[in-house]
Amino acid sequence: MHDYSDDSPREECGVIGLSSTGTQVAQQTFFGLFALQHRGQEAAGIAVADGSTARIHKEVGLVGQIFTPERLAPLVGSHAIGHTRYSTTGSSGARNAQPFLVETMYGPLALAHNGNLVNAAYLRSELLTRGFGLTATSDTEVMTLMLAAAKGDTWEDRLATLMPSWIGAYSLVILVADTVLAARDPWGFRPLSVGRLPDGGHAVASETCALRTLGCTDIEEVRPGEIVVMNGTDIRRIQAVPAAATLSRCTFEFIYFSRPDSDWDSMNVHQVRQRLGEQLAIEHPAQADVVVPVPDSSIPAAIGYARVSGIPYNDGLIKNRYIGRTFIEPTQEMRTRRVAMKFNSLPENLAGQRVVLIDDSLVRGTTAGPLVTLLREAGAREVHLRITCPPIINACHFGVDMGHDNDLIAARMTVDELCRHVGADSIAFISIEAMMAALGKTNGYCNACFTGEYPVEITRRHTKSQFDHVLA
């Protein structure tokens, strides 16, 4: 079902892989996935191998709902991968839940994927032409079947052979009978890090917060184009394909997706978000009495804005953190009050105040207006909206569900029109230059959703349901 109160870009996915010296790896994987729940809330799965046999459990729902002690008990082994999903290719049904597990001539193979291949349609057509049967509509199944049929003496050889044919974003975890492998695309779109478990084994995960939850030390980023092979205390790292000459890390990991306690590209997410707020205050000041964030991802930026501007920070909106993914369809009356399902105001902090409202992004334009109205109903005298990313005017083809180009409100309206549309007294977006200054970078990041300059050629416009016309 839809979250009618959320205008943010939808999460991509979270992946985790562990190769331990014990046999309780499923429980460890569960806690790692729990730390990655913010990256996907449609489905989750864990696959475990004990050296010869692989077992899997996956369902639609949240990690804590799916994996009860009874469901984890049969997942015995020392090697595991897990996934929590938001769909970017393929519908959100159970058949597209990950990992995908198949039997091959080399033994069991399971694969989970964060990202999106821009040439998935071509690769899928190739498999069908070769006589493969497909049971899902996800590009992850395509990658799984390609790897199952690949030639090579070892799994890392087969994976290295295929990586040049996968164009786009992928951070992968792969489970075979006695090993866990991980790989990252040469552009480095999606994050992936590796660390050492307390028992001497190893783990990889989309974010360092999951590795720290598991007590990992010696945490390092998986390099773009690299394969990591983990077997208990043994680890090998192979530069399978050269990293792209110019990397294309997703800027939105810092703006919105990643948990604030995660690190990426040697930077802490919370600190970067504070600097985004600082840059925004320098670039777009406002005459106001209070700085208020849209919780939760905008809190660090609001702290930074308040610090530089000298305007006091305070809470003005309280978020219902438990609304999550609801399976109950809201009534028409509640749909018209969709923001009230997720936020309540604090009139005591807002009455008579000129408010700077800090938000991370403005995508479809369905939330900003009701939030401004909510603040005004609470007594705010003025509302000045400040956004910590530039206007989003292009769709993402690398694993972020922002909608299509015609869904993006900033692609259809000028800033003045947007201001009138949301009912604010003023509105301003951070510039690309100021955003990159907050990261301390001038290149190495993908900003295609702001600029339209994609790091790889997009020959076909990607839609999430492009393969669902046959397997509906």
Nearest to 114 by CA among 63, 62, 170: 170
Rounded to the nearest 10 degrees, what angle do helices 269-283 and 299-309 cross at? 40
The strand ranges marked E within 86-191 are: 100-104, 107-117, 168-175, 180-184
Can 13 be counted among the known catalytic residues? Answer: yes
Tell whether omega for the bond before 99 is within 30 degrees of 0, i.e. cis.
Answer: yes
Q: Which amino acid is at 199?
A: D
Q: Give whole-number Cα distances, 121 to 94, 104, 166, 179, 402, in Å.
A: 21, 23, 11, 30, 20
Q: In angstroms, rounded to a whole number, what is the distance separating the alpha carbons of residues 391 and 413? A: 10
Nearest to 199 by CA among 22, 404, 455: 22
Q: In angstroms, rounded to a whole number, what is the distance separating the alpha carbons of residues 35 and 13? A: 12
Q: Which residue has the tokens 């696959």?
A: 47
Q: Give whole-number Cα distances, 304 to 146, 274, 281, 282, 421, in Å.
A: 47, 4, 8, 10, 27
As a whole number of Å, the CA-based R_g of the chain is 22
DSSP 49: E
Catalytic residue among 13, 209, 216, 449: 13
| Tokens representing residue 151 in the block | 């030639």
Strand order in the sheet with 382-387: 290-293, 354-359, 382-387, 426-429
- Residues carrying an active site annotation: 13
